[in-house]
Amino acid sequence: MTDLKRIFHAGGVLATAIPGYRERPQQQEMAAHIAEAIEHNKVFVAEAGTGTGKTFAYLVPALLLGGKIIVSTGTKTLQDQLFQRDLPMVRDALKSGASIALLKGRANYVCPYHLERALAEGKLNSRTEAGHLRSIAKFAKVTKSGDKAELSAVPEESGAWALATSTRDNCLGQECPYVKGCFVLNARREALAADIVVVNHHLFFADVMLKDDGLGELLPACNAVIFDEAHQLPETASLFFGDGVGTTQLIELARDARVEAIAAAKDYPPLQEAARVLDKAARDLRLAIRSDSARLTFSQVEKDDDFQHSLAAGEAALADLGRHLDTQAARSEGLQNCLRRSQEFSIKLKRWRVGDKAAKLDEEICVRWVETFAHSLSLNMTPLSVADIFKRQMDGHPRAWIFTSATLAVGPDFSHYCGALGLDEAGTGLWGSPFDYARNALLYCPPDMPEPNTPGYSDAVVAAAWPAIRASNGRAFVLCTSLRAMRYIHSTLAERIHSDALDMPLLLQGDGSRSELLRRFRQLGNAVLVASQSFWEGVDVRGEALSLVVIDKLPFAPPDDPVLAARIEHLRRAGKNPFFDYQLPRAVINMKQGAGRLIRDERDRGVLMVCDPRLVEKSYGRRIWQSLPPMRRTRDITDVEQFFAAEGLGLTA
């Protein structure tokens, strides 16, 4: 595409229209490859390091070549950034007339029907949530989009949102009395009419690939699909190509059945009682497993009498509710919807429990497992490989498929990623970051660390990290590979800060939303944030507020994870080496994500500290650090102290 050089060079249209724009050869090369893939309906996989400008590298060809384009992101944060800032900016610079639309999952839009039901019932957990619901009701009368992101006065985690939005299960569709004013349907109509539609990966798989919510016509009409943050796709695809049911779904069904019974079948009390019994049975099923955060194999719960008893009680309660709904369903669309859901959930529960033939989905081997959360439990069936399923979904109408992220390759090798999604014929491209890592970053691996599985390892992490944290005067992320280690390291650091009488704010993942914690971290300027998986990726803190990233262990998934354990066994039977073919590549990609939090701007400076001795003592450690940006390496804390002393911001001992 001959126009690209004119657009991307230092005196081009982007530089003229966008303040702070800088020419990057990597960006121009990447854009040329993406343009060629879109023009010829090819599959292209691109890794672009931080600072490459990959967003513009795919938006420019997408806008220039015309047609309908779907851009899918891994997070709602990037989705909003694309729609509200990047896309309009590039579109205006190119003087393109392309129309754009933002489409989120239905849980992001107010549902007038369920909002009305919730207001009428008035059953909330607190006065605060009751106030939130009233705020949502006022918002619903004035908003054009119904997008809850526009209502900052109600926190995203408020329980009121669950009552004021719909799910795929409880949406009444065309039978809804409010269908003409439905915010979800309005957003979808705009998406179908737009040239470029910005979605997220969860919505893409739920609505477009699986055609669950009437968006089946969006994918056939488009010329190209572009995935940003594409490293998340294999995991997201496993989630959506699998199956299962959770206690949250059962509790929501019980709640909806009760509300619908009050509205349309008040003269039939057994229905409300059956809903109450299902609610209790679902909560008892969650309590049958005592851990707040566990992932268990089917065999682990198969012989657990408490769990099996609770599961049987849940199935019986669900069947009983279904029988009562069957006698009343003709009285309202809401009751009909509840009947359909009860029947679907009964089938899913039986499929999960029975196994054997039920343990195969779409001819793929699946693993059955249980996951618990603080207040819920899910029964899951996950395919061990999504490659064949995803490949079949891509076949059909010719179009381009673009996959891009800062972390897709292991060294220069894309085979792990391409194999996971069945991208056998894909072209690949790898562009490193334009940032000067050799000058501005240091990779520090402390000496004399014990093996990560030894008792007292977290104490050793704190002991090794403390001099670096003092030298950086806080301004640090401490990223942990488990919640248990995160909590222990946080409490131990709190003791250190207190005993040394330092004014160094200490934050912990979970003490507020991620966005709130990041806002406080940036404002404080010398904070230490101890976090786990939520902060390993998708977090952007530029400038001096973040100058040290400490990683406690190499991010290998725990081998007793039910899905991983099944994949390992499956790979062994296929004659492969599970560690080198699966576990190590995944760890490399996760490690690159964590390391990527450090340098976010060409003026950023910082130290990446990896406490795990395997990085330098194991032969495979070389594959990991060679996949990281080209930082200077050291095992001497003095180098770290001198690095920060050069800034004039370090604490003196």
User: What are the domain boundaries of the chain?
Assistant: 3-105+184-238+385-431, 110-165, 241-383, 437-645
Q: Which of 433, 221, 446, 255 is nearest to 338 (CA)?
A: 255
Distance (Å, whole) CA 361 – CA 348 = 12
Note the pLDDT of residue 124: 76
Mean pLDDT of all residues belonging to the chain: 90
Given a contact cutoff of 8 angstroms between Cβ atoms, the answer to whether 552 and 489 are in contact is: yes
Note the pLDDT of residue 648: 55
What residue has token string 């099996």?
308
Given a contact cutoff of 8 angstroms between Cβ atoms, the answer to whether 503 and 528 are in contact is: no
Note the pLDDT of residue 149: 86
Which structure tokens are listed for 252? Answer: 């929501």
CA 303, distance to chain mean position in Å, is: 33
Note the pLDDT of residue 207: 73
Q: Answer yes or no: is pLDDT of 210 > 70.
A: no
Fold of 241-383: Four Helix Bundle (Hemerythrin (Met), subunit A) (1.20.120)
Q: How confident is the model at residue 649 (pLDDT cuts 50, 70, 90)?
A: very low
Q: What's the mean pLDDT in 242-268?
A: 93
Q: Indicate the CATH number for domain 437-645.
A: 3.40.50.300
User: Would the CATH topology of 241-383 be identical to that of 437-645?
Assistant: no
Note the pLDDT of residue 88: 95
Note the pLDDT of residue 158: 86
Q: Phi/psi class of residue 549: alpha, beta or left (left: φ > 0; alpha: ψ in -120 to 50)?
A: beta
Q: Comparing 359 with 595, which gets the higher pLDDT?
A: 595
Distance (Å, whole) CA 9 – CA 21 = 10
Cα–Cα distances in Å, from 9 out to 13, 16, 26, 49?
8, 10, 12, 19
Burial class of residue 456 in the structure, from the number of CB atoms within 10 Å of its CB (0-12 exposed, 13-18 middle, 19+ buried): exposed
Given a contact cutoff of 8 angstroms between Cβ atoms, the answer to whether 480 and 552 are in contact is: yes
Note the pLDDT of residue 339: 96
Which structure tokens are listed for 60? Answer: 């420019």
The H or E element spanning position 403 is strand 400-405
Q: Which of 447, 467, 450 is nearest to 640 (CA)?
A: 467
Given a contact cutoff of 8 angstroms between Cβ atoms, the answer to whether 558 and 616 are in contact is: no
Give, in degrees to the nearest 5, the angle at Cα 249 between 248 and 251. 65
Note the pLDDT of residue 293: 82
Q: What's the mean pLDDT in 6-32?
A: 89
Q: Indicate the CATH number for domain 3-105+184-238+385-431.
A: 3.40.50.300
Q: Specify the 3-state DSSP secondary structure of 628.
A: coil
Q: Answer yes or no: is pLDDT of 212 > 80.
A: no
Note the pLDDT of residue 426: 94
Q: Answer yes or no: is pLDDT of 516 > 90.
A: no
Residue type, 564: L
Given a contact cutoff of 8 angstroms between Cβ atoms, the answer to whether 285 and 345 are in contact is: no
Which structure tokens are listed for 509? Answer: 């993942």
